[in-house]
C-alpha cells in the first residue's frame, strides 16, 4: 500500500516543479501546452494520494483498531504507567482475536503508535521536497535531507513504536 507512495510523490513533484529531466524525456516545454494537462493530473495526485490517502489510512486505523480497557477486573481504573505490561498484554490479546481486514495497518505497532505508518508516509514526502529542482545547491539539498533523516532517527529511537523490541532495534539500525 505504501510502497508506491514515495515514487508517486517524487514524480508528482517533478511534474509540478518542472524537472528538466522529466520534461525532456516527454519533449515538453515547462508550463506550456501538454504540460498543463500533466500539471492538472499531478495536482490531483498530490491532493488525492499525497494528502487524502494518509488521512484515510489514519482514520481507518482509529476506527477499526481494538482499544484496550482502562479498567481492571474489579472496575478500578488502571494506571497505565504502573501496569504497562498488563496493558500491553491486553492489547496484544485483542490483536490476536481481531479479525478486521485492516489489521495489517496497525497489527505490528503498540496501541499509542498505531499511526506510525502514516508518520512514515509524511516523512517520505518531506524527504522528496529537498530534491525538487528549485533547490539549486546540492549542499543545501543534502543538508536538508540529512537533517530530516537525523530528526526522524532521533524520534524513532525515542518513540519505539513496535510491539516487538527487536523490531524497534531493527528500525533504529535502518535509520542509521
User: pLDDT digits over 66-87, tens only?
Assistant: 988 877 777 778 777 777 788 8
Q: Which pLDDT score, from 0 to 100, does residue 62 have?
A: 93
The 10s digit of each residue's pLDDT in 110-147 is 888 888 889 888 888 888 777 775 566 778 778 888 88
The percent of residues in the chain predicted with pLDDT above 70, rounded, is 95
Beta-carbon contacts of 70 under 8 Å, excluding residues fewer than 6 positions away, are: 77, 78, 80
Q: Which pLDDT score, from 0 to 100, does residue 28 have?
A: 79
CA 96 to chain centre: 24
Buried b (16+ CB within 10 A) or exposed e, 49-59: bbeebbeebbe
Contact 124, 10 (CB under 8 A): no
Confidence category of residue 88, pLDDT binned at 50, 70, 90: confident
- The H or E element containing residue 125 is helix 116-128
Rounded mean pLDDT of the chain? Answer: 84
Distance CA 33, CA 94 (A): 56
Contact 115, 58 (CB under 8 A): yes
pTM strictly above 0.85: no
Amino acid at each position: 500500500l505504501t510502497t508506491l507512495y514515495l515514487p508517486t510523490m517524487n514524480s508528482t513533484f517533478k511534474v509540478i516543479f518542472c524537472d528538466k529531466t522529466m520534461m525532456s524525456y516527454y519533449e515538453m516545454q515547462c508550463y506550456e501546452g501538454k504540460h498543463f494537462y500533466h500539471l492538472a493530473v499531478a495536482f490531483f495526485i498530490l491532493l488525492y494520494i499525497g494528502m487524502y490517502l494518509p488521512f484515510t489510512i489514519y482514520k481507518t486505523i482509529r476506527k477499526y483498531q481494538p482499544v484496550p480497557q482502562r479498567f481492571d477486573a474489579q472496575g478500578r481504573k488502571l494506571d497505565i504507567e504502573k501496569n504497562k505490561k498488563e496493558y500491553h498484554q491486553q492489547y496484544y490479546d485483542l490483536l490476536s482475536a481481531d479479525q478486521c481486514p485492516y489489521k495489517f495497518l496497525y497489527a505490528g505497532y503498540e496501541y499509542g503508535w498505531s499511526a506510525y505508518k502514516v508518520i512514515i508516509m509524511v516523512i517520505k514526502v518531506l524527504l522528496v521536497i529537498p530534491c525538487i529542482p528549485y533547490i539549486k545547491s546540492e549542499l543545501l539539498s543534502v543538508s536538508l535531507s540529512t537533517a530530516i533523516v537525523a530528526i526522524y532517527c532521533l524520534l524513532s529511537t525515542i518513540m519505539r513504536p513496535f510491539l516487538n523490541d527487536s523490531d524497534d532495534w531493527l528500525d533504529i539500525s535502518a535509520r542509521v
